[in-house]
Structure formats: C-alpha cells, structure tokens
C-alpha cells in the first residue's frame, strides 16, 4: 500500500541523512511505501525491492536499524533496489535509460552517506 504521509521514524532518517527532504523522500516500511509525490513506475520497482528485503514490519524494523547503522548493509540493499529500478527502465523506457542511470547514480552518491562518487555509483548500478 502507498501512503502520502511519512513513517513515524522519519525524524530519525532526517537526522542520519540531512540532505533528504520530507516532500521528496520515499520510504518503505514492511509492505508499505510512504511518499508525498506520485511515484513513477521505475521508482515503484525500486521500492518493491525494499518490501521484498523487509518482508514485514517486524523484520522491517530490524532492517531499518541495520540500514541506519551500517553503510555496507545500506549499500547492499540500495544496490539491489537501484539495479531492479534500472532493469525496469531498460525493459520499459529504454530510450530514457541513460538519463535514468545518471539520475539514479547522482541520488545514490548524494543521499545515502555512502562516500561514493556518481561515476562509481553508475558503474555499480549498471
């Protein structure tokens, strides 16, 4: 289910990832997706990957603790999600795939406190 509100732990996310904003962030918790903006299908593919990773709200809580603490875990989960998103784009919006890849690489390098460059992110996603 997609909610237009924010999850209860959003303040924690904002503390950990200062560059996110409430109007643009997309958060998955268990099987629920929280986003104030309409989600393009490519982004749904990304978030659906996180619902599979989290399974339910109980495991999802543990997933979020690990996600906040461990950059390695965060990188592994986001790479899986960005690769699923890129695969969706390659299958459905092939003409836009370079633009999508540039934007995804920029986001991965910018918002997750992973200390990688957009170029490194691009090579990891594709």
Pick from 25, 81, 101, 104 the residue near Zn ion by CB under 5 A. Answer: 81
The C-alpha atoms of residue 33 and residue 26 are separated, in whole angstroms, by: 7
Identity of the residue, 43 or 123, whose beta carbon is nearer to Zn ion in the bound complex: 43
Q: Can you tell me the distance from the alpha carbon of 14 to that of 26, in angstroms, rounded to the nearest whole number?
A: 12
Q: 20 or 90, CB closer to Zn ion?
A: 20
Q: Which residues pair with 29 in a beta bridge?
A: 32
| Cα first-last separation, the chain | 29
Q: Is 109 among the residues that bind Zn ion (CB under 5 A)?
A: no
Least distance from Zn ion to the Cβ atom of residue 50, Å:
6
Other CB atoms within a 10 A radius of the CB of residue 105 amount to 23
Min dist CB 46 to Zn ion, Å, is 6
Per-residue interface string for the shown chain with Zn ion, residues 8-37, x marking contact by CB under 5 A: ------------------------------
């Amino acid at each position: 289910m997609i909610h237009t509100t924010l999850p209860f732990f959003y303040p924690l996310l904002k503390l950990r990832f200062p560059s996110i904003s409430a109007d643009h962030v997309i958060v998955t918790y268990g099987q629920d997706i929280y986003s104030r903006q309409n989600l393009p299908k490519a982004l749904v593919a990304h978030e659906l990957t996180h619902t599979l990773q989290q399974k339910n709200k109980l495991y999802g809580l543990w997933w979020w603790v690990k996600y906040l603490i461990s950059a390695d875990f965060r990188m592994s989960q986001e790479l899986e999600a960005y690769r699923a998103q890129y695969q969706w784009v390659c299958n459905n919006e092939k003409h836009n795939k370079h633009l999508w890849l540039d934007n995804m690489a920029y986001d991965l390098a910018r918002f997750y406190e992973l200390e990688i460059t957009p170029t490194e992110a691009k090579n990891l996603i594709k």
